[in-house]
Amino acid sequence: MEKHQKLYYDTNEVAELVGCEASALRFWEKKFPQLAPKRDSRNRRRYTEQDIEVIRKIMHQKEKQGRTIKGAREQLRRKEEAELLVQRLVRVRKFLVEIKEQL
């Protein structure tokens, strides 16, 4: 799939990119706090690349992993928590290495 260079995509463009219905995107927006597209001045949804990545993760959880909405939401939450923990550990390690070098 070619990489798009737009900053924002409308609902129909995203639905076509990921292969789902626009109504599913609107539904998932209500169910997944990670999916929060911005709105323009005419109140239309504007999705970023990050939003599209979240949608792909949701679709993977539902279609490939066979999870329910609740299960997919929980799995995404756990992955976010794990990523935050890894980032903290990397910062702590860097700090400890700096201290070690100063000794």
Whole-structure pTM value: 0.72
**What percent of the chain stands above pLDDT 70?**
96
Read off the tokens for 38: 């911005």
The CA–CA distances, whole Å, from 53 to 33, 39, 98 equal 14, 18, 35
Provide mean pLDDT across the span 45-70: 91
Q: Is the pLDDT of residue 1 over 50?
A: no
For 67-86, the pLDDT digits (tens) are 898 999 898 899 889 999 99
The CATH fold assigned to 11-102 is Multidrug-efflux Transporter Regulator; Chain: A; Domain 2 (1.10.1660)
